[in-house]
Structure 1
């Protein structure tokens, strides 16, 4: 925890005894020195561009006069570079701003200094936290105005239908700013262009937080809009020719990451990604076809490996990784930093081998997960550090790359490989922006493809070396039988009802972008407008269900999740929608119900920081409480609370089911602020409210401090009810006040 005290508090003399402010100042000074040294190196290497630093600063101040007008030359640091193979003839100018607790990054292209990327962050962001100062509608107006100021207004249109949802495997704390996201589509002949969009975000205080746009290609030709085929005609034709078959979907528990259940669904075979707006041909598996052929996708299974699984030690895991990685990359030497042992949520025991490529100027690295019981790779990423990574003069074919991928599975992911099939669809075989090959080998169970279980292999296009490998295999024992599925004809009709098309310009020859003076050809095509639908058809129940818990941007008006309350309705809904409060039955949720200690602790920790259920790089510590084992659902929360100093371990047990009282919650709040030492000086405090005699001795100082900060205040009758049991509504509103306090300019706490 880092914290800063910038002004006096109500109990000034006692706080002054702690001397904590000077400690923070010294720490901050040390951090600043390190950053400046790095900046000087970047600046020296950056003065070679055609555009000067002064020109970029002037451009920034022109675009953001209110925010950066007072910035000096020393506050800006410049770097000149070109990147991305397909844009090798485009110059990019990167300059970043850093002053006090605020920083921003800018990227401009060409001598016209067209803004392509921008991001802004300030540690003093309390005005952007919940409750937001601007609504989503007001933020939309700000976004549109900014786009118009950049001169994009006539070429771009706000995509009102863009999904403003994002998935969380964890909570979104109250300490993170409210942020509204918007997408603007590039238009040509009033038709959106697929790879020319602008993404923009606005903080809850109305400030632009992020901006990103694709760099327009110098030369592009767009297909004529004459003789476009009718959308409804093509849509009906697609529905008439559609084929489906059964498929499994494995959905994880998004709290723990553990694969929890297998569902039976129907999928299209083959999947039609789009239809040409000119000739009506179907776009299937990366190619155009005149018709949809039934059973066009044959499943070919991998052959089992002769290599036998065997348990390995930490040292053997280290040696395995050393054998895969290059000893040196770009002058940097491989170092195996540490090998940790941990357990996946599904019980799989693994070794995490952490590696770094280092030289005197720093380095880079990652981690490799190796199964302790089988010795196979479960998760490997070595993009820049694998054997055979030297650039070859010739490029290998897709067929050769696929053969290499299978060899890597036989060598490193051999256990149960006979349960997996060769890539089936175009989505299982593709080339990334740098042209390396990516393959997805889906698992097959009971003759049915399993979505969510697969082996993913990435192979270098230059020499076939292994770049990455990851393997998923759920330990699910109950799989719905095919004969449990609803009638295929009924399912097909339900699926047809969800299908829709939308007209786009699409770039079908992106590989040619690397060729100098190549003109991009944009073709008109109807794309699937339902491809991002977060629903799947449950073949057993015949109902549509969501793939995962999802939430909308936190504007407090989520219509998907809503509970009622007389005076804390907005606060409760915001915390529920951001996965801070967990509710199993929304229809029967009572905001005035008493909160248990376990629930209150979880809600508090999730209000101020992210809760990660499975520590990645560290072995799980023993629980400080005899009644809380590592398997307990609140174990991660309790461990974080102890490590953050919020929960003490003087008692051998922690009663998660006991109601939380106001006085104990006060203590948690003061521990959160890091002022427990001050609270211990309670003999010097004056209690100017009724009910002080009801406060337990161990909590007297905590209650006084919390009360002085405006937290858990006494009622209108000047009476503080120390023994009252806290409700969900009270906890929600008080947590919001706590976060506003610790994020303010006067008093800041960083977790």
Structure 2
């Protein structure tokens, strides 16, 4: 997030505070413009004309606007109908075809008003299924929050009851417990996110959840309701086996085997191999009625014996580099279609490098039928000519019957032939699909197989060749190669015994009763295609994603995005006058605390420490994953390996730091005039501050202000960011502490997010 431009209103306010001399041309020092801003809706669609051909809706825009005003009288009660627009009606393949949806967007006619919203209604009753609202001003949702998390949860529950009064919902305490372990800037509003489970007879329905986002000021800005699925049928919640009986049976039957697992660090892009134990076969659920295990989409009475690993074998083909034109021709060959009225268009061939260093051709294509089209892209490895990612995008209707001319057994061998033709490098590292690992996907037009990678006789979880074969004609529908480049693999002999691991895994298993959606291939087995729910006990031990490290014998986080609870989440420090502010910044990963017992809020900060706190207060700081690819440092004493490199580069980008001086005094103490300088540059008022001769200096200690910082100090004081004391002294040379910067940064964030400033993403 970047910020720029201050309105004349702000400068006028500064004059009113007495900081500026009342000269006529003071405001001319800042250039403003009236560029229009394009917004992005909460669902990711932009405010541009829909490319989807609009059809006549069965509900008028007048009816929809009336419904919006009924639900949100305070927000939209006085809005003009001209501010609303009926968009295309979205379609979800898993829903009944006769379920109608209506999407409405809201943009005020005033180009200066950043408020926008989107709504989605479903069914004859126009039940709200989606809502996103971006208010004009979010500054009142910053710290301190006007509502607590507990109060926000009550507001969210009341909202769900209002928009869906016939449903019964329960707050899911375990949802959204994790987030990226990065800083949350002070310029972003406080948001509380809640997930609610829909209940049937007091039992959660697994596929039916609702989510609500509440700002720190109590305003609801986002709602996503459960998908509608037509008539719903539920098994009676009677005659159930007790959880203890089912759990004990599972533990008695459970078996495990050693495997490798690859974990990707999404920040550094490094892949690490671990040894772990996997359960065999994989149990997807257990019937609460008869205790049968659900595996590979089927209910069975007992575990089947594990099938031995059967490796793929093939003669090595020569892996020769491929040119751009050859890659284009290969794509045409794979994508050609005989569908009447449809033509294939290759939109472009791009050369690029994947994050792992693999050089590829990315070929974008489109199937065009009349005025409509659909397409995707494929990746071909430059130095071998192999497919890395391929999908033959086709029009897909889940309710359309497809003749199954190719059996699953036949499709497996066809898939192997395609691998030999298009993914042959390292083919001998992969095995035939293992039944207990298979997952049934909701597609009726294809057979889908996962060929696992094998290392030292062990399956490598996450590395596989995935192939989709058309049931109708055996053609290649999709092919994706997942192979991790790992230098070090833990030795098999270093793993703890199977007996030790099994006891640890059994001790980590729990079950919870849910209603579970049993649809297959987008529809049910009944003629009416009603949704049938089954009662199952589902594994409930993965609320905190983890895996068993077979070398250390410990449980470790397995979240794919490296998310975890903030290390500062439970820290609470004391301070006589800045306790709440300090703890808020600590919990938002803006201030780092090594030891809460020794943390001193009155400790004087160095420029390096203060700059990191300021940068994290105003924007998200991301670590560059590759040091060798980092741009040249703007300061001679800060190289790309310096721990503050990313902070300093970002501070230069946002204007906080000037590069006029060749070095940055990381270890120097930060003074109040230094901080004033950073603040005013962050606000984009550098040009004004340099004209220090236009200001009134009504400080008793004005002579202590360095000449370079005079205009910055008077502006910072006039805007209320750093204030004078009772003796009318600014104290420009006083050193800044943790407590002082916490208070001042919150003031700055409040000013930047006010209506006097524009935030540019």
Give the drift of 1:632.
5.2
Coordinate RMSD, CA, aligned: 4.3
Q: TM-score, normalised by structure 2?
A: 0.82
Distance 1:205 1:332, change over 3 A: farther
Q: How does 1:338-377 map to 2 (within 5 A)?
A: 339-340=351-352, 344=355, 348=357, 350=359, 353=362
Give the drift of 1:122.
2.6
| Map of 2:137 onto structure 1 | 124
Give the drift of 1:283.
1.4
Q: Out of 53, 56, 65, which is 1:48 matched to?
A: 56
Output one character per residue of 1:615-658: Cα deviation in whole Å (capped at 9) or x when no partner: 99xx8644434455555555444443333333333334445555
Distance 1:600 1:181, change over 3 A: same
Q: 2:197 & 2:728 partners in 1: Cα distance? A: 57
Q: 2:157 & 2:39 partners in 1: Cα distance? A: 38
Give the drift of 1:103.
1.2
Distance 1:476 1:705, change over 3 A: farther
Given the alignment of the two structures, is residue 70 of structure 1 paired with residue 78 of structure 2, yes or no?
Answer: yes
| Map of 1:471 onto structure 2 | 482
Given the alignment of the two structures, is residue 523 of structure 1 paired with residue 534 of structure 2, yes or no?
Answer: yes
Q: How does 1:318-717 map to 2 (within 5 A)?
A: 334-336=346-348, 339-340=351-352, 344=355, 348=357, 350=359, 353=362, 380=389, 384=393, 394=403, 414-424=424-434, 429-432=439-442, 440-455=450-465, 464-467=475-478, 469=480, 471-477=482-488, 479-511=489-521, 513=523, 517-548=528-559, 550=563, 560-566=569-575, 567-581=577-591, 591-593=601-603, 595-614=605-624, 621-630=631-640, 634-654=644-664, 656=666, 658-715=668-725
CA contact (8 A) 2:361 2:382 kept: no
Q: Out of 97, 104, 120, which is 1:95 matched to?
A: 104
Helix, strand or coil: the match of 1:498?
coil
Q: How does 1:194-343 map to 2 (within 5 A)?
A: 194-259=206-271, 261-293=272-304, 296=306, 298-303=308-313, 306-308=316-318, 334-336=346-348, 339-340=351-352
Q: 2:197 & 2:237 partners in 1: Cα distance? A: 18
Give the drift of 1:717.
5.0
Q: 2:432 & 2:598 partners in 1: Cα distance? A: 48
Give the drift of 1:288.
1.9
Q: 1:77 & 1:47 partners in 2: Cα distance? A: 14
Helix, strand or coil: the match of 1:200?
strand
Give the drift of 1:431.
1.9
Give the drift of 1:705.
2.1
Unmatched 5+ residue regions in structure 2? 41-45
Helix, strand or coil: the match of 1:234?
helix
Given the alignment of the two structures, is residue 17 of structure 1 paired with residue 17 of structure 2, yes or no?
Answer: no
Output one character per residue of 1:356-401: Cα deviation in whole Å (capped at 9) or x when no partner: 86999999998877767766666x4767499xxxx99646655566
Given the alignment of the two structures, is residue 105 of structure 1 paired with residue 109 of structure 2, yes or no?
Answer: no
Helix, strand or coil: the match of 1:58?
helix
Give the drift of 1:18.
3.1
Q: Which one has a larger percent helix, Structure 1 or Structure 2?
A: 1
Which has the higher Rg, Structure 1 or Structure 2? 2
Helix, strand or coil: the match of 1:431?
coil
Give the drift of 1:83.
0.9
Distance 1:417 1:364, change over 3 A: same
Unmatched 5+ residue regions in structure 1? 33-37
Give the drift of 1:684.
2.0
Distance 1:108 1:715, change over 3 A: same
Output one character per residue of 1:61-88: Cα deviation in whole Å (capped at 9) or x when no partner: 0001000001111100002425123322
CA contact (8 A) 1:192 1:503 kept: yes
CA contact (8 A) 1:221 1:520 kept: yes
Output one character per residue of 1:33-89: Cα deviation in whole Å (capped at 9) or x when no partner: xxxxx9796699657111111000000100010000011111000024251233222
| Map of 1:35 onto structure 2 | none
Helix, strand or coil: the match of 1:81?
coil
Greater Cα shift, 57-66 or 45-54: 45-54
| Map of 1:146 onto structure 2 | 159
Distance 1:521 1:356, change over 3 A: closer
Q: TM-score, normalised by structure 1?
A: 0.83
Give the drift of 1:501.
1.0
Q: 1:231 & 1:315 partners in 2: Cα distance? A: 61
Give the drift of 1:739.
1.9
Helix, strand or coil: the match of 2:551?
coil
Give the drift of 1:178.
2.2
Distance 1:281 1:516, change over 3 A: closer
